[in-house]
Structure 1
Amino acid sequence: MTSPSSSPEPTPERPDAAGDAALFDAVTAEHGMIYGYGVVSAHSNPTANGLVSSALREHRTRREEAIARLTARGVTPPLPAPGYALPSAVDDPIDAAKLGLRMEEDACDVWRAVLEQATVSEDRALAVTALTESAVNAAAWRKRLGTEPSTVPFPGGDD
Structure 2
Amino acid sequence: MTSPEPSTPTRPSDPADGALYDAIAVEHATIYGYGIVSAHSNPEDNYLVSKSMAEHRDRREAGLAKLEERSIAGPLPAAGYQLPMQVDTPTDAAKLAVRMEEDAAVAWRAVVEQATTEQDRAFGVAALTQCAVAAARWTQVLGTKPVTVAFPGGNE
Per the normalisation by structure 1, the TM-score is 0.93
Moved segments of 4+, more than 4 Å: none
Distance in 2 separating the partners of 1:131 and 1:56: 15
Could you report, residue by residue, the CA deviation over 1:87-131 in whole angstroms, capped at 9, with x for unpaired residues?
A: 111111011000000000001100000000011211111111111
Partner of 2:81, secondary structure, is strand
Structure 2, gaps ≥5 residues long: none
Count, aligned residues: 152
Residues 11-26 of structure 1 aligned to structure 2 (within 5 Å): 11-26=8-23
Residues 22-41 of structure 1 aligned to structure 2 (within 5 Å): 22-41=19-38
Kindly state the Cα deviation for residue 10 of structure 1 after the two structures are TM-superposed: 3.8
Structure 1, gaps ≥5 residues long: 1-7
Kindly state the Cα deviation for residue 63 of structure 1 after the two structures are TM-superposed: 0.3
Question: What is the percentage of aligned positions where both structures have the same residue?
Answer: 58
Distance in 2 separating the partners of 1:25 and 1:9: 19
Residue equivalent to 2:133: 136
Could you report, residue by residue, the CA deviation over 1:53-85 in whole angstroms, capped at 9, with x for unpaired residues?
A: 000000000000000000110111000001111
Distance in 1 separating the partners of 2:8 and 2:81: 15
Residue equivalent to 1:104: 101
Q: 2:148 aligns with which of 147, 151, 157?
A: 151
Cα RMSD (Å) of the superposition?
0.9
Residue equivalent to 2:68: 71
Name whichever structure is richer in strand by fraction.
1
Larger RCO, structure (CA 8 Å, separation 6 or more): 1
Residues 44-59 of structure 1 aligned to structure 2 (within 5 Å): 44-59=41-56
Distance in 2 separating the partners of 1:141 and 1:125: 24
Q: 1:115 aligns with which of 103, 112, 117?
A: 112
Q: 1:95 aligns with which of 67, 92, 95?
A: 92
Per the normalisation by structure 2, the TM-score is 0.95
Distance in 2 separating the partners of 1:119 and 1:125: 11
